[in-house]
């Protein structure tokens, strides 16, 4: 099993809390990824500024996408591997503002994410979710 996926599954059941990143107490989708980064890579590479739930959507700024490009290795969207960071656009033409971690590949793909009203869950990567994928990234190696 992929160690990042194993750690992400330990977060399942954590309630949704905007801008939080504390396993068991609360996190949002970014907070989950930040927690996985701290557990597997080390200290965060840059401070995380306060952010609203709309992720600069009215301004059209790709805040999450740009940050992912700075710290993760981009890869083809169709090249799924366990432990990939997945970035989603929740609507066509909108900014990318949701994150998840690929937890299963193959015939029944799945991802782990923190979602408003649900907290951290593992969801099937169904066609409606797959159509929303804006980008896919590999996690960096420990100690970068």
Instruction: Report the distance separating Cα 49 and Cα 7, nearest Å.
Output: 25
* Sequence-ordered alpha helix ranges (H) in 11-132: 29-40, 63-71, 127-130
H/E segment holding residue 15: none
pLDDT tens digit string along 31-43? 999 999 999 999 9
CB atoms within 10 A of CB 65: 19
Instruction: Report the distance separating Cα 32 and Cα 67, nearest Å.
Output: 15
**Average pLDDT value for residue range 24-36:** 97
Q: What is the mean pLDDT of the chain?
A: 92
Neighbouring C-alpha atoms within 13 Å toward the C-beta of 89: 15
Position 56 scores a pLDDT of 58
pTM of the model: 0.94
Task: Find the helix packing angle between 29-40 and 3-10, rounded to 10°.
Answer: 130
Domain ranges of the chain: 3-138
Position 54 scores a pLDDT of 64
CB 112 within 8 A of CB 120: yes
pLDDT at residue 96 is higher than 60 = yes
Position 74 scores a pLDDT of 98
Position 2 scores a pLDDT of 94
Handedness of CA 84, 9, 132, 80 (dihedral sign): positive
To the question of domain 3-138 being in CATH 3.90.1720.10, the answer is yes
Position 91 scores a pLDDT of 86
């Amino acid at each position: 099993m992929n160690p990042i996926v194993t750690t992400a599954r330990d977060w399942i059941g954590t309630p949704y809390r905007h801008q939080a990143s504390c396993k068991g107490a609360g996190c949002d989708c970014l907070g989950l990824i930040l927690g996985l980064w701290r557990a597997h890579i080390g200290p965060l590479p840059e401070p995380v500024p306060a952010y609203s739930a709309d992720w600069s959507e009215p301004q059209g700024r790709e805040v999450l996408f740009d940050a992912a490009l700075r710290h993760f290795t981009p890869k083809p969207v169709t090249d799924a591997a366990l432990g990939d960071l997945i970035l989603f656009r929740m609507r066509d033409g909108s900014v990318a503002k949701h994150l998840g971690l690929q937890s299963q590949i193959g015939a029944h793909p799945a991802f782990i994410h923190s979602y408003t009203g649900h907290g951290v869950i593992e969801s099937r990567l169904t066609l409606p979710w797959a159509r929303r994928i804006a980008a896919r990234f590999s996690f960096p190696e420990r100690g970068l």
